[in-house]
Amino acid sequence: MSIDALTKHCDLNCLGTTLYRDLLVIQTLFLQQKGMYELKKRSVIDRVVSIHQPHVRPIVRGKAGAATEF
């Protein structure tokens, strides 16, 4: 169920700002994942990697232990 459909059934003002923001980030994440699946791609520009910190981006380092870090 999309957020648009959810707003038709209930009022989202009861969520509060933090939960509402998280809901919008999850919607963005879903749309990115759906687009990657449909286009058979493995990456997206400005991909969301954290729901609570959507501004955080992984950095490619090329270290032996891990290829990326945050």
Would you kindly state where each structural domain of the chain is located, as residue ranges? 3-69
Nearest to 28 by CA among 58, 6, 50: 50
pLDDT digits (tens, 9 = 90+) for 2-53: 677 776 777 777 778 888 888 888 888 888 899 999 999 988 888 888 888 8
Label residue 62 left, alpha or beta by phi (over 0 means left) and psi (-120 to 50 means alpha).
left
CA–CA distance from 32 to each of 9, 14, 16 (Å)?
25, 27, 25
Question: What predicted TM-score, i.e. pTM, was given to this entire model?
Answer: 0.65
Q: How far is CA 6 from the centre of its chain?
A: 18
User: What pLDDT is stored for residue 38 in this prediction?
Assistant: 95
User: What pLDDT is stored for residue 39 in this prediction?
Assistant: 93
Contact (CB, 8 A) for 61 and 68: yes
User: What pLDDT is stored for residue 42 in this prediction?
Assistant: 86
